[in-house]
């Protein structure tokens, strides 16, 4: 696993929580493939409300029973490594929204943290 600092590339993939890949949640498949590819990090975030191409607003409010909420999968690494991962998404997310943007990593994972009040 790489631990980039400075400029990194963030890949964000928007899927529905009920989307699957071979009986597994699609967001989980993306995270596990990013891990297997040795990327620096990946997380899936469940949205509380949102809409996409269907223009139907999905919400977690009680009356809607939280059907098909949006999930954003965020992957971070160097631009070269993230772009090399894009072909993995071609078969997994044929018509989903995939975004790339450049970010600055100001604290890398695994770095020591100062004492937090343990006196």
pTM: 0.79
List the domain range (segments joined by +) for residue 39: 6-105
Does residue 39 or residue 54 have the better pLDDT?
Answer: 39
pLDDT tens per residue across span 57-94:
766 665 555 567 889 999 999 999 999 999 999 989 98
**Does residue 119 form part of some domain?**
no
Q: Give domain status of residue 33, yes or no.
A: yes
Task: Residue 85: give its domain's CATH number.
Answer: 3.30.70.120
Number of domains in the chain: 1
Q: Is residue 88 part of a domain?
A: yes
> What is the full DSSP assignment across the chain?
-----EEEEEEEEEEETT-EETTEEHHHHHHHHHHHTT-SEEEEEE-SEE--TT---EE-SGGGTTTT-EEEEEEEE-HHHHHHHHHHHHHH-SSSEEEEEEEEESS-TT------S--
Within a domain: 40 = yes
């Amino acid at each position: 696993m790489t631990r980039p600092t400075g400029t990194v590339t963030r890949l964000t993939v928007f899927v529905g929580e009920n989307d699957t890949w071979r009986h597994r949640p699609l967001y989980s498949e993306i995270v596990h493939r990013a891990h297997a590819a040795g990327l620096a990090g990946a997380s899936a975030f469940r949205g509380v409300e949102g809409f996409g191409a269907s223009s139907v607003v999905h919400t977690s409010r009680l009356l809607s029973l939280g059907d098909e909420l949006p999930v954003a999968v965020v992957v971070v690494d160097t631009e070269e490594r993230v772009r090399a991962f894009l072909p993995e998404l071609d078969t997994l997310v044929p018509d989903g929204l995939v975004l790339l943007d450049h970010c600055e990593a100001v604290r890398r994972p695994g770095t020591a943290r100062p004492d937090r009040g343990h006196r």
